[in-house]
Every structure is written in C-alpha cells, then in structure tokens.
Amino acid sequence: MLHRSLSADAAARGLIVLLISPGWAKTDMGGAGAPTPVELAVAGMIRVADEATPAQGGSFLDWQGRRVPW
C-alpha cells in the first residue's frame, strides 16, 4: 500500500514510481543455480525504468517489464 500511495503522490509531480524485481539472479544470495546473470538482470531493470510510462506508475514489474502479481 505504501508503494501505491507513494506512486499516486509522485504522479502529481510528474514522477513514475515502480517496483522492479531482479528475479532469481546469480548473486551471493541467489547462488550459482540461479538462471539469470546479474548483468542481464541489471540491464533489464535499467531498460524497464528508462521505458516506464505514467500508466505503469504503481506497478510491480520484473526485470523484463512483465507485471508481477501482487
């Protein structure tokens, strides 16, 4: 709810607020069995942020830009 509220407040100022999940990435926490290289997850998250539209404000997306169900 905090994310949705922050998104609504920010939208009034022309800002877009998103939650973006890196997914299961090959990090110390994700482990070697994770399918996604860190570089790919980070590049995807940056792309999602760069291409975000006001209509997506308040969304929870993965690093590929797909909606993640709450």
The pLDDT value given to residue 8: 94
Q: How many CB atoms lie within 10 A of CB 45?
A: 21
For the entire predicted model, the pTM comes to 0.88
**Where in the chain are the domains?**
2-62
pLDDT band at 70 (very low <50, low <70, confident <90, very high): confident
Cβ contact 53:16 at 8 Å: yes
The pLDDT value given to residue 18: 97
Q: pLDDT digit string (tens) for 14-69?
A: 999 999 999 999 999 999 999 999 999 999 999 999 999 999 999 999 999 999 99
> Cα separation of 70 and 60, whole Å?
8
Strands (E), the chain: 19-21, 60-62
